Structure formats: C-alpha cells, structure tokens
C-alpha cells in the first residue's frame, strides 16, 4: 500500500509544478521595471524589427524588461484586447487604430492622456500634422501615432499591364475596360481573399464613400438618426462591385479564400489587380523580389459625390494604459520606439509608412515614397469601416459587401438586410447602456 501513497504524492507535486510553473499569465506584473507591450505584429520582418528595438531598449536601460504580447490583428481588435484588460493584468502600452477605437478605449477608461508628454520638448512636431485628429478625444491626445496605414490601394502587376498594352487606369470606366481585356487574355483581373470580410469590405467602403460622399458615409456608419444603408448612393456604390462580380472579374472562390491565399495568384503573376492595404509592401519586397508591381488609388468614379482623390486610410499607434504604474518608463519606451532611428529601422526593413517625419526622409523604397506623397497630397483620409467605426456596425456592413461580391444577393437585398440588423443595434443602444455611444 505504501507505493501507492508515494505515487499519489508524486502525482500531486507534479501537478502543482506543471500548473504553477510556465509562468501563469507570464507573471502578474508588479515589477516596476517590466513593461508589457501589446501589439498585433505576429510575424514577418516587422515583428523581427520590433524584437530588435525592444532588445536595444533593454540594453540601453539595464534591468528593464519589455514583454511583448503579440495577438493576431483579426482577434486583437475585439476579443483580444478586451480580454487582456478583463484578465486583470493589462498591458502598459498597447497598439490601437486611431479614430473610433481610441474613443472606445477612452470611454472604457483604459486610455491615459498623453497630451502633456507630447508637448514637452517639441515631441509633437516630429510627427506629420495630418495624423492628430485620429488620436484625439475632446482635444486631448490619447495615442502616439505610429503608422499611416493606407487601408486599400489597387496593386497591379506592371508586366501584365504592359503585355495587355493598357494604360494605368484613372477612371472607373478605364479600370473596368482593363479588367475586361485581362479577362479576355485569360488572366484573373482582380484577385482577393475575402473570407475574413475586411479585404473587399474595405474596398467596398471606399467605393461607397466616393459615390455617396464622405459625410453621408460617416454619418451612416455612425448610425446618425435618419440614415439608412439601403439608400440610393450606397446601392449605387455596391452596384459597381456587383458589375465586377457579374462580369466574372474576381478570382474563383473569392469569398472562400483568406487574404493571403487571395494574394497567391497575384504573387505568381496570374492576376492583374489586387486590392489590399499598403502593409503588404513589406512582404513583397522581402519575399517575392522578382515581382514587378506598382499601385494606384481606387480609380475616380465620375458623378460620385465624394472627393475622388480621397484615400482610405487609418492612423494607428500606441496608447498607454490609464492606471499603468510605470508611466515614466512607458513614455521613455514610447519615445525610444518613435525616435527617428527606431522608426527608420522599420521603414528600411519592412517598408512601414511611419508617422515620424524624419524617418520618412531621404532614400526611400520607391513605392513607399509614392505612398508618402499620396498621403501628403490627399485632401481627405477616409476611415475604413472596421477600424473607423463600431465593430458590430462594421461587421453587418461588411457582410453586405461580402454578399454582393460573392454574388449571393443584390446590393438592394444585402443593404436592406444590413439595415434590419442595424435596427437591432439602434434599439439596443436606446436601452441606455451602450459601448457604442460617444463619451
């Protein structure tokens, strides 16, 4: 009988060890020199550069540890970040998209006011001027701007366009014409993977904002009273996408592929256009150097009420947790992270379009320089649906776009269905407790 006792004791000890070690929650953070840094860069050269910058910071500040919490961006936005805070061990510095999400975090009491820090010794002047509206709530700044993300541009394969003997399209008609030529030549005119709904959701949102005008677009997505998704302008915008779908311009299985799978045919040179954000540049220059590509903004849509030079974009950056016990350290880290040298590293290694002016000067990758000029010249930066507005509204809206792109329903049906779902949200908000309400 004794061996059984010994055995069970060993089991118990082993169990406690297994559960206890391996750092529950990576150690509940009480250490004044341990900084928790949450972001959504889970791989690629950007992640490597983040690692380098953090290591460098640790080297410059002996005793300091920077713990990175990297969560994939599709999860980060909703459940990911919410759970980090709900879990009782919040990060000190965390990534966020500017605009509505900054307001949300402010309303949820997570955001520290960074205005004073930025005004000290001219830190604020190091950034581009057009980024500030994205970081503010009631005139106070809650986010250090980091990246200018152009959420959707149309990448195209230069060699294929030359073989088709077509010019770079400037208007929607020209664009459709080039697509038709490509289709006749046996190419895939437009490739995308919309399984997660944001890829073409973003592009659709941009097209709609061009057709309906930025004001109506913003009001509708902000659920302003009296607005409807199934309004003539929105329907008109989605009809443009429907036309592309009905002409068979999209790749087969467009709504069943993930974003990266959708890119495959572009990388292999089978597809002409690929609508996606500026960030893929990093991947392409590093992984497919033989690809000869360029990009255009969404073509001008004649008769549209919006600004036809607008770009779809979002400023993202880093926020500090309001009750962070080591604010000084966090600020020191953020300043180091946003120094021209650190940002230059990101620019050079990964083609990141940073909001720090000094890092974007001098020799630049040509596509990146083009993006910088595009962003500086544009009169309007339109926020995309998913990061610029409430997540639940965006989901329903992007579902409608997905439905049209997949040929599952007409723009009218899709948008009316979207309206019915939005109606529920409005009723929900009318109850009083709402995360969506402006603070």
Contact window for other proteins (CB under 8 A) among 216-224, 317-325, 349-357, 428-436: 428-436
115 touches other proteins (CB under 8 A): no
126 contact partners, CB below 8 Å, separation of at least 6:
338, 340, 356, 357, 358
Sign for the pseudo-dihedral over CA of 203, 208, 209, 210: positive
Contact window for other proteins (CB under 8 A) among 52-60, 81-89, 142-150, 202-210: 81-89
Shortest distance in whole angstroms from residue 374 CB to other proteins: 28
89 touches other proteins (CB under 8 A): yes
Selected binder of other proteins within 10, 24, 140, 323 (CB under 8 A): 24
Shortest distance in whole angstroms from residue 109 CB to other proteins: 6
Q: Which residues of 26-64 are buried (b: 16+ CB within 10 A; e: fewer)?
A: eeebeeeebbbbbbbbeeebbbebbeebbebbbeebeeb
Structure tokens at 352: 């990141």
391 touches other proteins (CB under 8 A): yes
Selected binder of other proteins within 69, 114, 240, 401 (CB under 8 A): 69
Selected binder of other proteins within 259, 282, 386, 419 (CB under 8 A): 259
Of 349, 379, 376, 344, the closest CA to residue 361 belongs to: 344
Selected binder of other proteins within 162, 253, 323, 438 (CB under 8 A): 253
* 409 CB neighbour count, 10 Å cutoff: 16
10 touches other proteins (CB under 8 A): no
The residue ranges of DSSP E strands in 168-256, in sequence order, are: 188-190
Shortest distance in whole angstroms from residue 319 CB to other proteins: 15
Q: 3-class DSSP state for residue 272?
A: strand
Contact window for other proteins (CB under 8 A) among 85-93, 326-334, 354-362, 379-387: 85-93
431 touches other proteins (CB under 8 A): yes
CA distances from 233 to 22, 222, 388 (A): 55, 16, 20
Contact window for other proteins (CB under 8 A) among 205-213, 291-299, 336-344, 396-404: 396-404
* 239 CB neighbour count, 10 Å cutoff: 17
Structure tokens at 439: 């603070």
Nearest to other proteins of 141, 257 (CB atom):
257
Of residues 177-206, those binding other proteins (CB under 8 A):
195-197
Q: 3-class DSSP state for residue 423?
A: helix
| Cα separation, 98 vs 135, whole angstroms | 6
Tell me the pairing of strands 311-320 and 93-97.
Answer: antiparallel
Nearest to other proteins of 23, 377 (CB atom):
23
User: How many residues does the structure list for the chain?
Assistant: 439
6 touches other proteins (CB under 8 A): no
Contact window for other proteins (CB under 8 A) among 170-178, 218-226, 228-236, 400-408: 400-408
Q: What angle do CA 219, 220, 224 make, to 5 degrees?
A: 60
Nearest to other proteins of 264, 358 (CB atom):
264
Structure tokens at 35: 């900084």
Selected binder of other proteins within 299, 382, 403, 422 (CB under 8 A): 403
Across the strands, what pairs with 127?
356
Point out which residues bind other proteins (CB under 8 A): 1, 11-12, 14-15, 18-19, 22-26, 42-43, 69-72, 74-75, 78-80, 82-89, 108-110, 195-197, 252-253, 255-261, 263-264, 391-392, 395, 399, 402-403, 406, 408-409, 417, 420-421, 423-424, 427-428, 431-435
């Amino acid at each position: 009988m004794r061996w059984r006792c010994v055995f069970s004791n060993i089991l118990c000890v082993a169990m406690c060890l297994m559960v206890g070690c391996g750092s529950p929650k990576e150690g509940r953070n009480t250490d004044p020199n341990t900084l928790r840094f949450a972001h959504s860069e889970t791989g690629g050269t950007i992640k490597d550069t983040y690692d380098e910058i953090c290591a460098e910071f640790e080297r410059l500040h002996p005793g300091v540890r920077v713990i990175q919490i990297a969560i994939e961006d599709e999860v980060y936005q909703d459940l990911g970040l919410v759970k980090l805070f709900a879990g009782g061990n919040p990060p000190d510095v965390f990534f966020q998209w500017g605009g509505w999400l900054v307001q949300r975090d402010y309303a949820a009491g997570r955001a520290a006011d960074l205005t004073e820090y930025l005004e000290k010794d001219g830190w604020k002047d190091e950034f581009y001027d057009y980024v500030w509206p994205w970081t503010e709530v009631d005139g106070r700044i809650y986010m250090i701007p980091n990246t200018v993300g152009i959420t959707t541009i149309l990448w195209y394969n230069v060699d294929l366009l030359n073989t088709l003997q077509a010019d770079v399209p400037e208007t929607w008609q020209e664009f459709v014409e080039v697509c038709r030529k490509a289709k006749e030549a046996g190419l895939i005119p437009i490739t995308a993977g919309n399984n997660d709904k944001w890829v073409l959701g973003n592009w659709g949102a941009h097209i709609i904002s061009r057709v309906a005008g930025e004001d109506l677009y913003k009001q509708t997505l902000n659920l302003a009273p009296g607005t409807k998704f199934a309004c003539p302008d929105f329907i008109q915008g989605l009809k443009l996408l429907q036309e592309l779908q009905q002409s068979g311009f999209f790749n087969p299985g467009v709504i069943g592929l993930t974003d990266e799978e959708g890119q495959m045919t572009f990388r292999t040179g089978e597809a002409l256009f690929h609508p996606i954000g500026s960030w893929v540049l990093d991947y392409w220059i590093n992984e497919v150097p033989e690809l000869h590509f360029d990009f255009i903004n969404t073509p001008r849509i004649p008769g549209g009420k919006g600004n036809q030079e607008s770009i779809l974009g979002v400023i993202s950056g880093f926020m500090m947790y309001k009750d962070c016990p080591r604010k000084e350290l966090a600020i020191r880290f953020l300043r180091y992270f946003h120094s021209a040298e650190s940002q230059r590293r990101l620019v050079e290694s990964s083609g990141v379009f940073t909001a720090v002016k000094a890092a974007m000067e001098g020799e630049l990758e040509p596509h990146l320089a083009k993006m910088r000029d595009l962003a500086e010249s544009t009169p309007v930066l339109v926020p995309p649906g998913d990061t610029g507005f409430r997540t639940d509204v965006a989901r329903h809206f992007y579902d409608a776009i997905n439905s049209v792109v997949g040929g599952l329903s007409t723009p009218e049906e899709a948008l009316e269905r979207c309206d019915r779902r939005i109606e529920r949200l409005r009723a929900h908000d009318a109850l009083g407790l709402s995360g969506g309400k402006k603070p």
